[in-house]
Structure 1
Amino acid sequence: MSFTRVVFEEFRAIFTNIPVIFVVIVGSFLYAFLYPAPYKNNIVQSQKIVVVDNDNTTLSKKLIFLVQASAEVDVDKVTSSMKKAQELLNQGKVYGILQIPNGFEASVYRHIPVEVFYLANASYFLIYGAVIDGIHRAVEEFSANIKLRRLLFEGKSQNEDIDLIVRDSIPLYNPTVGYINYALAAILVFILHQTLIAGAGILGATQNEQNLKGIKGYWNEIGGLKLVLARMFAFFCIYVVLFLLYFGFLFQLYGVNIGADIVSFWCFSAIFILCCASFGTLLGLLINHPALPTQIVLISSLPLIFMMGFIWPLELLPKPIVWAIHFIPAFEGVNGFIRINQMGADLHLVMNDFFWLLGLCIGCVMICVLVIRQKMGNVNDSEKR
């Protein structure tokens, strides 16, 4: 059987297998439109904080008013107990704390520099950034107002006290400082990864189940390498179209930043698709029940998301887990796409990820061929008996 004929048989097997179609085509479309729904507002605003006012004076209340006026934070409670504030933070009822020290007003009127303390829950990066940025802007505005009042009181011009260095925050890779470029860009790539592995796994598991029932097919009549390469090529053609849909239409629809040049993007995309296809093919060869690949993919999705490094820091994960996650195509793939597409990196800057995916792909192909040969040897031995 020629390679072209095997590819044709693979396409026919894919498009006549309802579970594979549902996962690969329907699943990719549904997740693409349903998953982004919680992130449509994009910007993090009105995060609850508690203010520990140990001064309880007119100036401290003015500072609290300015903080409350910030779009990023919402003053939920005002207390004089730091212990109570920490309890609220630990319970998740608030996401940040602003502490105004005792003697705040007196120090300001005496022209003595005074410090206010603020902290936020760093478990959620965007919430943490919103709380810290909102409080910081309010404090800067308060400080500027105090400085202006002092200059007017002393009869000086406002221009006589000009700040030589001014802080101006420019979010380079996340212009909106929201979830779209922070999480959604990576999640959409992860969806393609999961549906591809599940689809290839279901197809292989279905054929294994048919073998156990004594039903022979084209997959029993050809060599292992030809079968594996043909299956990878068939899924590659399908996912090139899905990549065009995701990166060409959905990224534009959701306002995801696109900074990749076309050559770097497609070179990295090609090796990523082939690696995922080989990984899914290997999974299918090891499973005899068509329902198991989908279950494995669904159960592993949430843990894998937190191991990718863009939601939860890798430094906080156990080293054995960080080592093991490198053998899942999504890790190098997602992080490579973030650097290429969101940060505008050239291909040579992600060559470590590229070569790792290439090595992982070759390794999966070799293991697939060995597994197929082992199965064919077992079948031949049983027929001889």
Structure 2
Amino acid sequence: MNFKDVFFNEAKLIFSDIAIVLTIIGGVILYSFLYPQPYTSQSVSGLPLSVVDLDKSDVSRDIIFKLDATPQISVKRVDLSERDAKDALLRADVKAIVIIPNNFKKDLALNKSPIIAVGADASYFLIYGGILEGAMKSVLTQSATIKIANLLKKQVPLSKAKEAYAPYSLNIINLFNPQNSYTQYVIPAVFVLILQQTLLIGLGILGGGINEKISRGESGYFKIAPTWMMMLSRVMIFGFIFFIHMLFYFGFSFEMFDITHLASMIDLLTFGFVFLLAVIFFGIFIGALFSSREIATPAILFSSLPLVFTAGFVWPVEALPQALVYLSMLFPSTVAIEGFLKLNQMGASFDMVIELYAILWLQVIIYGTLAYLVINQKRDNIKSV
């Protein structure tokens, strides 16, 4: 068979399979709109807060006012007891609790150091960090006001009092996430994983389906066509489709959801090309191992959540077992997520991701070789039967 015949047979088999078409075209497009929706308004601001004011003084009311004035926090409740505030936190009515202790104003007058307790839901570290940042700003501002007032009572000039209390100022800038939102760091990484998983499912269904046909004794081009021709056909067909998907994700979708993209087009396409190539060869390899088409979808979907946590963008890799970190490096998405985030969200030059680029090329060589060997081995087994 010549390459043209093999290519058209591969294309016919792919596009006549509704499961593959829905996955590699419909699924990818659908995910691009549905997945980001929960995060579109998830900037860390206006987080609901409960304040337990046990002091009920003018100072404590001033602290509550300052808490409500910070952009990160919105005081939704002023509870009379810690139990009421805790119940509100458990019902998810609020995200945090601030407790102003009894005798707070009196202790300040006596130059004691009363403790304001802050309890926040640490399940989401951006929310937790936002609560702590807002609370600390409010409390430190109140503390500065009191300390400067005490210095003024001692006849210290205002300018000297300010310098004595705060010799420097703190200016916090969120460098790679200006809006301090989930959208900027979750969606770009998950988009890479979606591209990989849908591509692997499509190739897995194709490879498993061919193995089913072979086991049933059906004849077809897949028994006689040269292995390299079938592999090259799949690279061209799936590569073209997912190259368009990649441009759609990193172009239109990023613009629609106002996601930062700093990489140059050449760097993005260069890195994206080898990523898609690595995933395609990996998909051909595992597809050749599947004994049936039904195995592909659950097997690959099952790996999605572990890959999210081992990729390092929702959970620090330093907190994971080293064996899991090394195991995750077998998947192109782990390397690609780090590379794409550095290029697109952090503005890194291509030289800074050259090691990740090399790892992807290594995966291309390894998985391409393995796929070729496995397909040939299965053919040899058929001939020997």
TM-score range, shorter chain: 0.7 to 0.9
Q: Which moved more, 1:313-322 or 1:47-56?
A: 47-56
Task: Please give the alpha-carbon distance, in whole angstroms, between the structure 2 residues aligned to 1:84 and 1:376.
Answer: 70
Paired residues for 1:245-324 under 5 Å = 245-324=248-327
Q: Which moved more, 1:199-208 or 1:17-26?
A: 199-208
Task: Please give the alpha-carbon distance, in whole angstroms, between the structure 1 residues aligned to 2:339 and 2:110.
Answer: 54
Contact 2:53–2:78 (CA<8 Å) still a contact in 1?
A: no
| Identity across matched positions, percent | 34
Residue 291 of structure 1 aligns to a residue whose secondary structure is helix
Aligned to 2:33: 33
Opposite residue 301 of structure 1, the aligned amino acid is S
Counterpart among 217, 220, 224 of residue 221 in structure 1: 224
Render the CA deviation track for 1:316-345: whole Å, top value 9, x for unaligned.
323322221111111111111111110011
Contact 2:282–2:371 (CA<8 Å) still a contact in 1?
A: no
Contact 1:205–1:290 (CA<8 Å) still a contact in 2?
A: yes
Residue 43 of structure 1 aligns to a residue whose secondary structure is coil
Aligned to 2:187: 184
Opposite residue 34 of structure 1, the aligned amino acid is L
Opposite residue 142 of structure 1, the aligned amino acid is Q
Residue 174 of structure 2 aligns to a residue whose secondary structure is coil
Aligned to 1:168: 171
TM-score after normalising by structure 1: 0.87
Task: Please give the alpha-carbon distance, in whole angstroms, between the structure 1 residues aligned to 2:156 and 2:12.
Answer: 83
Aligned to 2:360: 357
Task: Please give the alpha-carbon distance, in whole angstroms, between the structure 2 residues aligned to 1:122 and 1:2.
Answer: 60
Opposite residue 125 of structure 2, the aligned amino acid is F
Contact 1:107–1:113 (CA<8 Å) still a contact in 2?
A: yes
Pair 1:124 & 2:124 matched: yes
Q: CA deviation at 1:80?
A: 6.6
Q: CA deviation at 1:167?
A: 1.0
Task: Please give the alpha-carbon distance, in whole angstroms, between the structure 2 residues aligned to 1:121 and 1:208.
Answer: 50
Task: Please give the alpha-carbon distance, in whole angstroms, between the structure 1 residues aligned to 2:221 and 2:349.
Answer: 42
Aligned to 2:43: 43
Task: Please give the alpha-carbon distance, in whole angstroms, between the structure 1 residues aligned to 2:7 and 2:351.
Answer: 32
Q: What is the aligned length?
A: 381
Paired residues for 1:106-145 under 5 Å = 106-110=106-110, 116-118=116-118, 120-145=120-145
Residue 41 of structure 1 aligns to a residue whose secondary structure is coil
Contact 1:201–1:281 (CA<8 Å) still a contact in 2?
A: yes
Aligned to 2:339: 336
For the structure 1 residues 131 and 17, does the alpha-carbon distance in structure 2 shift closer, same or farther, using more than 3 Å as the test? same
Q: CA deviation at 1:214?
A: 2.2
Q: CA deviation at 1:103?
A: 5.5
Render the CA deviation track for 1:113-171: whole Å, top value 9, x for unaligned.
66545353433121112111221222233234435655776777644424441111111
Paired residues for 1:53-202 under 5 Å = 57-75=57-75, 76=77, 78=79, 95-100=95-100, 104-110=104-110, 116-118=116-118, 120-146=120-146, 149-150=149-150, 158-160=158-160, 161-162=162-163, 163-202=166-205
Aligned-pair Cα RMSD in Å: 2.9
Task: Please give the alpha-carbon distance, in whole angstroms, between the structure 1 residues aligned to 2:219 and 2:153.
Answer: 94
Opposite residue 120 of structure 2, the aligned amino acid is A
Task: Please give the alpha-carbon distance, in whole angstroms, between the structure 1 residues aligned to 2:56 and 2:184.
Answer: 41
For the structure 1 residues 157 and 12, does the alpha-carbon distance in structure 2 shift closer, same or farther, using more than 3 Å as the test? farther
Q: CA deviation at 1:294?
A: 1.6
Unpaired segments ≥5 residues, structure 1: none
Q: CA deviation at 1:88?
A: 8.1
Task: Please give the alpha-carbon distance, in whole angstroms, between the structure 2 residues aligned to 1:347 and 1:19.
Answer: 37
Contact 1:225–1:365 (CA<8 Å) still a contact in 2?
A: no
Task: Please give the alpha-carbon distance, in whole angstroms, between the structure 2 residues aligned to 1:190 and 1:343.
Answer: 19
For the structure 1 residues 212 and 176, does the alpha-carbon distance in structure 2 shift closer, same or farther, using more than 3 Å as the test? same
Contact 2:47–2:95 (CA<8 Å) still a contact in 1?
A: yes
Contact 1:308–1:331 (CA<8 Å) still a contact in 2?
A: yes
Aligned to 2:15: 15
Unpaired segments ≥5 residues, structure 2: none
Task: Please give the alpha-carbon distance, in whole angstroms, between the structure 2 residues aligned to 1:77 and 1:381.
Answer: 79
TM-score after normalising by structure 2: 0.87
For the structure 1 residues 184 and 112, does the alpha-carbon distance in structure 2 shift closer, same or farther, using more than 3 Å as the test? same
For the structure 1 residues 85 and 307, does the alpha-carbon distance in structure 2 shift closer, same or farther, using more than 3 Å as the test? farther
Q: CA deviation at 1:198?
A: 0.8
Render the CA deviation track for 1:85-128: whole Å, top value 9, x for unaligned.
88987897764443545654234335566654535343312111
For the structure 1 residues 165 and 7, does the alpha-carbon distance in structure 2 shift closer, same or farther, using more than 3 Å as the test? farther
